[in-house]
Amino acid sequence: MYNGVALSRDGTRVAAGRVAPRPVREQGLRPSADIWVHEFARDIWTRLTFDPAIDWLPATTWAPDGSRIIFSSKRDGGVHNLYQKLASGAGNEELLVKSSEDKSVQDWSRDGRFLLYSAVIGGRTGRFTTSYDLWFLPLTPSGTAGAAAGGKPEIYLKTEFNENQGQFSPDGNFIAYCSNASGRDEIYVRPFPKATDGQWTISKGGGLAPRWSRNGKELFYISADSKMMAVDVTINPVFKPGIAKTLFQTSIHGGATSRQLFGYDVAADGKRFLINSSMADTGPVAATTITVVTNWTALLKK
């Protein structure tokens, strides 16, 4: 089972969190989870992480040049911390952020200067969590974080509600994210780095997993009934969203229920989608497959 997908900037590879059931699963033990990279040209999957802890959520955390991937891992204890590793698989993982918050990596700005992630203060408490907040971490071009980059993690958006699934606009001036401030999950956009400078509602009737087109002229998201939606947006001279339109029905794994996973990604041309689709429920771990949707514009004419 895959638990998230992220295309490299050049579209030649995809990173995915992959749950590999162990033979002892029947004994009630938890399956392992690691980061894998698929190379389209050779149709080969390569395992990137090997730690027995849970490694997941590559999201859109490829370095802009495709050299590295940032992911979340529980290898240091009870909460997810943030690590990076060379996409080639060489070398060891490097710890980027370690704290008491449970962290989910979200996005890496196109200029390589900022990492966006969500965090739960105090981590998880039983079946419930406190609200997720959005944080950002300054990075140097080489990917160095913290004091070496002249900064430390900073809160971007903190309320009593959940804010997560944050995505930088291509120019780095805005962040699209999911929040349940209205009583259900919807997609919003705010300026970056000052979230207080404005807010725009993008979705209507529910939405999760926002993705920007590479040219910054569209926002995609998954509706409450698992449809792929698109909204035309204008960024300059001011931000202005259009009306959401349906592109096609998806069978995205988990439906529109997961606030933590990005079950799809958009190719650079904005015309192809890579979707983590459900095949069948096979018990504790549902079978999934990676589906590429092309020529979706033809579906609009039906």
**pLDDT for the residue numbered 158:** 94
d(CA 116, CA 68): 15
CATH number of the structural domain spanning residue 282: 2.120.10.30
User: E strand or H helix at 69, and its extent?
Assistant: strand 68-73
Range of the domain at 52: 2-301
Backbone φ and ψ for 195, nearest 5 degrees, come out as -65, -20
What are the angstrom distances between the C-alpha of 25 and each of 16, 49, 51, 124, 282?
Answer: 21, 20, 18, 24, 13
Q: Which of 104, 8, 103, 85 is nearest to 47 (CA)?
A: 85
Give the position of tokens 């202005």. 240
| CB-based contact 43:28 (threshold 8 Å) | no
**pLDDT for the residue numbered 18:** 82
Q: Which of 165, 176, 170 is nearest to 256 (CA)?
A: 165
Q: Which of 79, 110, 109 is nearest to 97 (CA)?
A: 79
Give the position of tokens 């983590």. 276
Tens of pLDDT, residue by residue over 252-265, are 876 666 666 788 99
Q: Which of 138, 209, 195 is nearest to 167 (CA)?
A: 209
pTM of the model: 0.85
**pLDDT for the residue numbered 128:** 44
Q: Look at the chain and report how many structural domains it folds into.
A: 1
Tens of pLDDT, residue by residue over 57-107, are 555 578 889 999 999 888 877 788 899 999 999 999 988 888 888 888 899
Can you list the residues of the chain whose pLDDT is less than 70?
1, 20-31, 57-60, 121-130, 141-151, 254-260, 279-302
Secondary structure (DSSP) of 129-147: E--EEEEEEEB-TT--BGG
**pLDDT for the residue numbered 151:** 64
